[in-house]
Structure 1
């Protein structure tokens, strides 16, 4: 079996809390990511899902070294990159690119599209002449299905979906192996989301790209991903191939997320799984299972012992003390 393109081993990212003018305290930490492990193969899409604030984007930024890693390992194609110096990191940064949530704020409003796309090609020395540079830039517009005569325009002259296509083209300009899509479609209209998702899938097949797709939109995730990793309060609580996650979740939190997904069939009946309370603070996460303060199936062991992420069936991993979830109608139950 081929080695994975990306390996993340026990990744941790803790942010120190510093004092300010009104509070001289400090010394605490925000446990944004607290022991995350997964792999991504070449040409595979792994979706990282969960509520806002669970640490999804921090994982993506740590992999890209936009944030330094507190502990753990990030290995790209057999080379550990979390400890590389800036000079050595620059040599392989071309292989990891990102598409951010807001396409307008991530594009320089003063530059024309031609210059935006040419910048990574120049930075990484991917064109030997001006003519080759121009041809690569024009080909990128074809790849993301934008007209070549738009190269002279600036970002504000495009719609949101078109701007996101430009961001994707900029990421492709570096000829990467891995693209991190950080909520790349969440700011777009529904019809435009579908177009961008279809474009990403086509590009993945054409170039053999690996995608880390960070999202809270499970309907989009179900359509495009190969595997899903569910995060809660800095940890992965379940990971499995797409069909297993959506057909038979093994963690109560996954079940709650799926029960909240709207169903297009007006005749369908199911009972949503309503979670009580708020997500605990990542500054002081609960002992034991981090989900126990909201879990409808909690018992005493959950409050003291942290469950391991272990394999339940072939390919499906869950961090829960329950061997199996109760079979409730519609995959959802009230929290009482």
Structure 2
């Protein structure tokens, strides 16, 4: 992992979706999908963004890609601000950031052969010129994702789910991206295929120096791929740390609950489970104070009225938004496993 200025910087990112109602279609409420998210990703680094469904993690990925305008905040790619960039300039920047979606079948045009699917971004960004160079680049991409070259003349429905996801990865690599956002890229795959795709992404990162934003709801999936983990709950990051610190010295109760739900290889192993009660609150009307206090077994009065901020503690770079850190005698969270 190369250590210098971050490739991607996200500062206080907010995305609120208006809810319209009434005869005149006035804004009656807002969905606070993402509400003040800050992180960075270095070149050659993987940051995993994890949390339950509906926490806003996929919205973060789409906001970075500028698939919609931000409510507030800033996004920088290689030091250049892109959240307010004009469409004409943004087009060239999009060559450097690509996405791999969750469903490999619906994200590929069923009427196009693999050759045409991979040729499309190459032509759009003018990466290669001439039929011979185009074919050579497509064949190189097939080699890169470990698929046979002769498969370029087949349609997406002729491949398995894992193979289709490899095609999706090849398409993301085609324009020469520095950053790839993997939005639940392995959640629709079988366990064995999932492991193969994760290994492939790890190999490609080593070979090409890619930066990855790996969005997932499953901490077990990201454990062997990531360098750092950011845990989201109801639109906010509640804990951010390197992989070792997060899994061995958890500082936020929500992260602990996610970890305690991860299956362990030894069924006889004893572990303390942390079962969360109640449902995730609505992002239309999030709770006051700490947004997790309605489900947290360690909550006290301050949690209900004052919103915690991300604070350093423990290992270097380990941040957590929890009032437990400020108690005179910090309450020690039980081990997840």
TM-score range, shorter chain: over 0.9
Residue 131 in structure 1 maps to residue 112 in structure 2: no
Secondary structure of the corresponding residue to residue 262 of structure 1: coil
Q: TM-score when scaled to structure 2? A: 0.96
1:1-336 alignment, distance < 5 Å: 2-19=4-21, 26-313=27-314, 314-323=316-325, 324-328=330-334, 330-331=335-336
User: Partners of 2:55 and 2:310 in 1: how far apart?
Assistant: 17
Question: C-alpha displacement at 1:30, in angstroms?
Answer: 0.2
Kept after mapping to 2: 8 A contact 1:253/1:295? yes
Kept after mapping to 1: 8 A contact 2:223/2:243? yes
User: Partners of 2:156 and 2:22 in 1: how far apart?
Assistant: 38
CA separation of 1:178/1:156 partners in 2, compared to 1, >3 Å: closer, same or farther? same
User: Partners of 2:333 and 2:153 in 1: how far apart?
Assistant: 58
Question: C-alpha displacement at 1:27, in angstroms?
Answer: 2.4
Q: TM-score when scaled to structure 1? A: 0.96
| Residues 192-212 of structure 1 deviation map (CA, whole Å, 9 limit, x = unaligned) | 000000000000011100000
| Residues 32-81 of structure 1 deviation map (CA, whole Å, 9 limit, x = unaligned) | 00000000000000000000000000000000001211100000001000
Question: C-alpha displacement at 1:220, in angstroms?
Answer: 1.3
Question: C-alpha displacement at 1:326, in angstroms?
Answer: 2.5
Please list every run of 5 or more consecutive structure 2 residues that lacks an aligned counterpart in the other structure.
Answer: none
Question: C-alpha displacement at 1:218, in angstroms?
Answer: 1.1
Question: C-alpha displacement at 1:216, in angstroms?
Answer: 1.0
Please list every run of 5 or more consecutive structure 1 residues that lacks an aligned counterpart in the other structure.
Answer: none
User: Partners of 1:102 and 1:24 in 2: how far apart?
Assistant: 34
Secondary structure of the corresponding residue to residue 181 of structure 1: strand
Runs (4+) of structure 1 exceeding 2 A deviation are 23-27, 324-328
